[in-house]
Amino acid sequence: MEVWPGNAYPLGATYDGGGTNFALFSEVAERVELCLFDDDPEGEDGALTETRVELTEVDAHVWHCYLPSAQPGQRYGYRVHGPWAPEHGQRCNPSKLLLDPYAKATWREIDWDPSLFAYTFGDEESRNDDDSAAHMTLGVVVNPFYDWEGDRAPRTPYTDTVVYEAHVKGLTMLHPDVPEELRGTYAGLAHPAVVEHLRKLGVTAIELMPVHQFVQDDSLLDKGLRNYWGYNTLGFFAPHAEYSAGARDLEDPSARGLQVQEFKSMVKAMHLAGIEVILDVVYNHTAEGNHLGPTLSFKGIDNAAYYRLVEDDERYYMDYTGTGNTLNVRHPHSLQLIMDSLRYWVTEMHVDGFRFDLASALAREFYDVDRLATFFELVQQDPVVSQVKLIAEPWDVGPGGYQVGGFPPQWTEWNGKYRDSVRDFWRGEPTLGEMASRLAGSSDLYEQSGRLPFASINFVTAHDGFTLRDLVSYDEKHNDANGEDGNDGESHNRSWNHGVEGPSDDAEVLRMRARTQRNMIATLLLSQGVPMLLHGDEGGRTQGGNNNTYCQDNEISWMHWDDLDRPLVEFTAAVSRLRAEHPTFRRKRFFTGSTVRTGPEGAERLNDIVWLHPDGRPMEEADWDGDGRVLGMYLNGHGIQGMDERGGPIVDDHFCLFFNAGADDVSLVLPPEEYAGRWAAVIDTAGGTDPETALLAGTELKLPGRSVLVLQEWAEPDPEVDWSVDASLREQAGRGTS
> Which amino acids are annotated catalytic?
357, 393
Nearest-angstrom CA–CA distance, 326 and 320: 6
- How many DSSP H helices and E strands does the chain contain? 15, 31
378: helix, strand or coil: helix
Using an 8 Å Cβ cutoff, are 186 and 244 in contact?
Answer: yes
How many Å separate Cα 268 from the centre of its chain?
Answer: 19
Neighbours of 592 (CB within 10 A): 13
Residue 221: exposed, middle, or buried by beta-carbon count in 10 A (0-12, 13-18, 19+)? middle
CA dihedral of residues 147, 150, 151, 152 (deg, nearest 10): 150
Which one, of 413, 401, 400, 395, lies nearest residue 355 by Cα?
413
Taken in order 403, 409, 415, 421, the sign of the CA dihedral is positive
Strands 456-458 and 412-414: parallel
Q: Is 698 left (phi over 0), alpha (psi -120 to 50) or beta?
A: left
Nearest-angstrom CA–CA distance, 695 and 469: 33
Which one, of 584, 609, 586, 621, lies nearest residue 433 by Cα?
621
Max CA pair span of the chain: 104
649: helix, strand or coil: strand
Using an 8 Å Cβ cutoff, are 275 and 203 in contact?
Answer: yes
How many Å separate Cα 557 from the centre of its chain?
Answer: 17
Q: CB under 8 Å to 723, separation ≥6 — which residues?
A: none
